Every structure is written in structure tokens, then in C-alpha cells.
Amino acid sequence: MGISRRPNGSLVLTVHITLRPERDDDLIALISQAPKGALAGVVREAMRSGVSNGSTRYEEDSAEQPLSMADLGTEL
């Protein structure tokens, strides 16, 4: 994973994530439907708020429980 910091204080990460069918269907749908140029923002929101199984796109819903990073199969 590459990490760098820009002069304005922004932290820039390069991350490779493997998404598996069935286990990660909600994330695959989210990534697949992200508008061109909006993937980073979509991923940021998913990391902050989580996505629910069966969701085809990100929708904020206070009743949904966020996924833990362990459930996502990521190492940060």
C-alpha cells in the first residue's frame, strides 16, 4: 500500500482490494455503479458509513449497520 501526504495535508492512499462474488456482492455492485470520476468518493462514503447486503447502490440509512473492516477483507 502506498501512502503519501500532499503539501495541503491530504493523505493519499493506494490500496488493492480483492472482492469476491457472493461474499462481497454489495461492494461489487457499489463499485460497478460508481459514476466515472466518483469512485474515490463512493469508497470513502462506504468506509465511513458501510453498505448493507443486498444494496445495489449506496443509500444513507440510519437503520443500517456499518460493516467492519474485517468483514470487508481489507488490511489498512
* Structural domain contains residue 10: no
pLDDT of residue 51: 79
The closest of 67, 61, 56, 64 to 29, measured between CA atoms, is 56
Range of the domain at 55: 20-61
The closest of 69, 48, 49, 71 to 60, measured between CA atoms, is 49
Contact by Cβ (8 Å): 51, 67: yes
With bands split at pLDDT 50, 70 and 90, how would you rate the model's confidence at 72? Answer: low
* Structural domain contains residue 14: no
* Structural domain contains residue 25: yes
- pLDDT mean over 54-71: 53
With bands split at pLDDT 50, 70 and 90, how would you rate the model's confidence at 15? Answer: confident
pLDDT digits (tens, 9 = 90+) for 28-62: 999 999 999 999 999 999 889 887 665 444 444 44
* Structural domain contains residue 11: no
**What is the model's pTM?**
0.56
**6, 15, 18, 48, 60 from 75: Cα distances, Å:** 23, 9, 11, 16, 25
* Structural domain contains residue 5: no
Q: Total domain count for the chain?
A: 1
pLDDT of residue 50: 82
Using the structure block, give the residue that is written with the C-alpha cell 488490511. Answer: 75
d(CA 9, CA 18): 28
* Structural domain contains residue 33: yes
